[in-house]
């Protein structure tokens, strides 16, 4: 799946596309500085064992918007590099049996044409040589007009469940659960709960998240 995505020229920065002649590097120093590498591993709100590659700031917000909404899918390559670096600096990757993406609903898949987290998970799996598995499903199954009014908001959020044909594969396994950006962490928590209920444990990895430890100018 990954190979069908378009790559831009090797000698120019894959984020700004302005700075050239990078001699094999994928991003220029200016973009690298704007990314604010975090490489965090620890607790995020009430989620345990979360890895975060970058701080969430206006720069990454804009680059992720290009990836998600403007079909600049080649950016998965940069994002997965950042996540890979964060992972190997904090954890032994051989702990994981599978790499699993946070799913998106069929509706989102239709609108965007790809699962943002799925592409990152596939790229990480290839870089780490660990099998990619896509066992989670996000539903928007119920038609809104058939649901009680008080249930509608809940239904709109979508529910995550396990494709039962994968339950034996996951039993007793430790998996790496991949998402791009989180704000509240509720989707990750829901996905983790589903995996835990099926006797799998998950470490979560994110491209970026807002942090309690916001960088101040004096720390940069
Ligand atoms: Zn650049």
CATH of residue 200's domain is 3.40.50
Alpha-carbon span 69 to 61, nearest angstrom: 12
Q: What percent of the chain has pLDDT over 90?
A: 68
- Report pTM: 0.85
Q: Is residue 59 part of a domain?
A: yes
Q: Which range marks the domain in which residue 81 is found?
A: 37-209
Residues whose CB falls within 8 Å of the CB of residue 23, separated by 6 or more in sequence, listed in order: 11
Residue 142, both tokens = 């119920």
Classify 137 as helix, strand or coil: strand
The residue whose two tokens read 């989670």 is: 136
pLDDT tens-digit series, residues 162-179: 999 999 999 999 999 999
Tell whether 17 is covered by a domain. no
Distance 21 CA to ligand 1 centre (A): 11
CA of 14 to the centre of ligand 1 (A): 7
Assess if residue 28 is contained within a domain: no
| Distance, CA of 35 to CA of 47 (rounded, Å) | 24
The mean pLDDT of 36-43, rounded to a whole number, is: 94
Q: How far is the CA of 209 from the centre of ligand 1 (A)?
A: 21
Quick check: is 204 in a domain?
Answer: yes
Q: Whose structure tokens read 């000698």?
A: 11
User: Which range has the worst mean pLDDT, 89-93, 101-105, 212-216?
Assistant: 212-216
Instruction: State the DSSP code for 107.
Output: H
State in Å: Cα 23 to ligand 1 middle: 13
- Is the pLDDT at 144 greater than 90? The verdict is no
pLDDT classification of 214: cutoffs 50, 70, 90 = very low
Q: Per the domain annotation, does 46 fall within a domain?
A: yes
Does residue 10 lie in a domain region?
no
Q: Mapping DSSP to helix (H, G, I), strand (E, B) and coil, where does residue 216 land?
A: coil
Residue 79: per-residue pLDDT: 97
Note residues around ion ligand 1 (Cβ under 5 angstroms): 13, 15-16, 19, 28, 31
- pLDDT-based confidence at 20, cuts 50/70/90? confident
Does 181 reside within a domain? yes
Domain total for the chain? 1
Residue 27: the pLDDT is: 92
Give CA angle at 183 (179, 187), nearest 5°. Answer: 55
pLDDT at residue 211 above 70? no
Residue 24 lies in a domain: no
């Amino acid at each position: 799946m990954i190979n069908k995505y378009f790559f831009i020229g090797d000698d120019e920065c894959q984020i700004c596309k302005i700075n050239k002649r990078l001699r094999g590097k994928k991003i220029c120093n200016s973009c690298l500085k704007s990314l604010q590498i975090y490489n965090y591993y620890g607790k995020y709100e009430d989620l345990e064992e979360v890895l975060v590659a970058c701080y969430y700031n206006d720069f990454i917000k804009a680059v992720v918007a290009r990836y998600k909404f403007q079909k600049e899918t080649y950016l998965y390559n940069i994002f997965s590099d950042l996540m890979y670096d964060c992972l190997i600096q904090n954890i032994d990757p051989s702990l994981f049996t599978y790499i699993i993406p946070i799913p998106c609903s069929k509706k989102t898949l239709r609108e965007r044409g790809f699962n943002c987290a799925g592409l990152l998970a596939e790229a990480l799996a290839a870089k780490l040589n660990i099998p990619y598995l896509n066992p989670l499903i996000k539903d928007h199954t119920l038609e809104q007009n058939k649901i009680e009014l008080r249930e509608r908001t809940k239904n709109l959020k979508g529910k995550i469940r396990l494709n039962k044909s994968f339950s034996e594969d996951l039993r007793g396994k430790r998996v790496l659960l991949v998402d791009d950006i989180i704000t509240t962490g509720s989707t990750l928590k829901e996905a983790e709960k589903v995996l835990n209920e099926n006797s799998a444990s998950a470490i979560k990895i994110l491209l970026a998240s807002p942090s309690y430890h916001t960088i101040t100018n004096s720390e940069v």
